[in-house]
Amino acid sequence: MHVEDLLRLESLDLTLLWGDGPQLTREISGVTATDLEDPGRFLQRDELVLSGLVWWAPADDEAKAERFVAALHGAGAAALLAGEETHGGVPDVLVDACRRHGIAILSVPVHTSFRAVTDTVYLRQWGDLSRRPADHYALPENVRAELSRLLADGTDPDTLLTRAVAHLGTPPAYVLSATGRTIARTPTAAPLSVSRAAEALTAPATLNVDPDASPYGQWHLHLPEPVGAPPRMLHEIAEVLAQHRQATLRREKAARGPATDLLSLMDTASSTAAPAALRTALQACGLPDEGPYTVITVKGAADDDGTLDALTEALRHLTGSGFAVGRLPTGEPAAVIATDAATVTDAATATATDTDASPSPSPGLSSAPSLSPSLIAPTLKNLWPTLQSRNANVPLHGGISTPAATPQDLKGALTQARYALTAARAQKAPGASTASTSHVTAIEDLTTLGALLTGIPADVRTAFGIHALGPLADDTNPSHRMLLETLDVFLAHNGSWARTAEALHLHVNTVHYRIQRVEMLTGRDLARLDHKLDLKAALLCR
């Protein structure tokens, strides 16, 4: 594929900013996405360079753009594709630098993703391997031809990886997910625990298979032992695996349609959807038409497309469970999990586990031990810090329901999951003044009044606190602040006048006077348990 071929594709809608004949007829060997100011050491000759231009700012001098383009020229890059989103366009200084160094530069509009460009290049390359000149690649021609055929046949990742490294003597090799799941391994590779695999992701001999994937959905090629292969050969193997990854993503995207329909049916206004309709929707997702089911909802940053990948990746750790992932009508990603592996249909195997769900070759859902519904929440809680670490700057919260016994109970389970999600988003780390960065909460965690109240929307909690406390809600008044403190301590000491006076260093008569003022201003009688609970809840809602 040549640079000029990209300009002919209406689907990409690229614009040529500078480049003439010699630059546009250069053949593309691969694609690298980077926002490093000096990416030269990471580039291969004739690669297409994608950059969102995050490394550049309008206040920067021309020398910064000059250094970036000089690095591309020194590495022999075929062309620069510059994204318009960061700065609303491509800076003129960058175009001028490309002209001086003889690097073609194309602009990528906001509506065209870098992944679309990468997919286009690699699909074109690997779709015509057998007709490429042999000296263009590091992989032997017969290996390229075999891998191309295996890709076309939709082979499993274990076979694809094994055949890709067979000419190297089949060394130990792995394909690992972003959270340390083993997607594929060669017969010579020993099984890796999730923790060891997560450590391997940072090893020097680990390549990112799909750089444009979301942080939660990335695959990695890991070779724990030196193989003496040229770096370009390993990159080509990674590119083959990227094509398999894209096929997997297409199947996942197709499976989200029925899942979204199921979630929409669960979210209907009626108290329960028609049993027959629910069973049909479950079967369309490849899930059993009898429970138990667990529902989970998640929330990341606004308009964060990676949240669906995060949820899918987390659920793939639930061995022996089928699941359907989609979006609720309100937009939040959610999933229905079926934990009885013995009744999960063949369709669930394809939808929920696919070929990358197990560390062992040729896995089948029915052969994996079923995970007890009671272990779903603990498993996901243990995984959540690793999942969050994949994209530390984006909060990721989750809410998990209790098991639903029948399809008719799914609506209630969804309500529980949403409530737990709201509670998770309101959780605070010990000593923190604001909500924690990331948290997952199960309904079973809400065992105290304070925990229960966190699931109520913040504006509702605030309104309740204001109305229950009456004038005391105005804590700008010093007298009211004093009364609120006394009320809080009084309730914390179970209504004991003596212990409250001791804690506040007051005379008991003063405590009596203040509590009487609280009762008068709030209209509550603190001799009554229900009124004590009302005011305690109001204090927790502030």
Structure tokens at 271: 């108290």
> 163-196 pLDDT, tens per residue?
999 988 889 999 999 999 999 999 999 999 988 8
The average pLDDT across 144-171 equals 88
Residue of 184, 37, 212 lying closest to 121 (CA atoms): 212
Structure tokens at 179: 């959270």
The model's confidence at residue 341, banded by pLDDT at 50, 70 and 90, is very low
Report pLDDT for 131: 42
Residue 305 pLDDT > 60, yes or no? yes
Torsion of CA 386, 391, 397, 400, to 10 degrees: -40
3 state SS of 471: helix
The model's confidence at residue 302, banded by pLDDT at 50, 70 and 90, is low
Residue 132 pLDDT > 80, yes or no? no
CB neighbour list of residue 507: distance below 8 Å, 6 or more residues apart? 501
More confident call, 491 vs 251: 491
Residue of 393, 417, 408 lying closest to 311 (CA atoms): 417
Number of H helices, E strands in the chain: 20, 14
In degrees and rounded to multiples of 5, residue 78 shows phi and psi of -75, -40
Report pLDDT for 123: 64
Say what percent of the chain tops pLDDT 90.
Answer: 37
3 state SS of 400: strand
Residue 362 pLDDT > 70, yes or no? no
CB neighbour list of residue 167: distance below 8 Å, 6 or more residues apart? 139, 140, 143
Weakest-pLDDT range from 55-59, 79-83, 365-369, 467-471:
365-369
Residue 541 pLDDT > 90, yes or no? no
Distance of alpha carbon 145 from alpha carbon 141, whole angstroms: 6
The average pLDDT across 382-404 equals 87
State which of 72-86, 229-243, 362-376, 392-406 shows the largest mean pLDDT. Answer: 72-86
3 state SS of 466: helix
Residue 448: other Cβ atoms inside 10 A: 10
Contact predicate 223/171, CB 8 Å: yes
Is the Cα torsion angle 404, 406, 412, 415 positive or negative in sign?
positive
Angle of helix 231-266 versus helix 410-426 axis, rounded to 10: 120
Q: What is the average pLDDT score of the chain?
A: 83
The model's confidence at residue 81, banded by pLDDT at 50, 70 and 90, is very high
Distance of alpha carbon 291 from alpha carbon 412, whole angstroms: 13
Residue 268 pLDDT > 60, yes or no? yes
The average pLDDT across 32-61 equals 89
Contact predicate 341/368, CB 8 Å: yes
The average pLDDT across 65-88 equals 94
First to last CA, the chain: 62
Report pLDDT for 342: 44
Would you mind telling me the total number of residues written for the chain in this entry? 542
Whole-angstrom Cα Rg for the chain:
29
State which of 426-440, 453-467, 505-519 shows the largest mean pLDDT. Answer: 505-519
Return the H-helix or E-strand segment holding 174: strand 174-177
The average pLDDT across 223-239 equals 81
Report pLDDT for 9: 85
Structure tokens at 245: 């990854």
Q: How wide is the angle at C-alpha 435 spanned by C-alphas 430 and 441, nearest 5°?
A: 85
The model's confidence at residue 126, banded by pLDDT at 50, 70 and 90, is low
> 321-333 pLDDT, tens per residue?
899 999 999 888 9
- CB burial class (10 A; 0-12, 13-18, 19+) of residue 272? middle
The average pLDDT across 145-152 equals 86
What structural domains does the chain harbor? 3-122 (3.40.1390.20), 254-453 (no CATH), 458-540 (1.10.10.2840)
Report pLDDT for 366: 34
> 461-517 pLDDT, tens per residue?
889 888 889 899 887 888 888 999 999 999 999 889 999 999 999 999 998 999 999
3 state SS of 463: helix
Contact predicate 243/346, CB 8 Å: no
Structure tokens at 359: 């560390």
Report pLDDT for 428: 60
Distance of alpha carbon 307 from alpha carbon 536, whole angstroms: 36
The model's confidence at residue 124, banded by pLDDT at 50, 70 and 90, is low
Residue 363 pLDDT > 60, yes or no? no
The model's confidence at residue 102, banded by pLDDT at 50, 70 and 90, is very high
Weakest-pLDDT range from 161-175, 267-281, 523-537:
267-281
Residue 40 pLDDT > 50, yes or no? yes
More confident call, 350 vs 404: 404
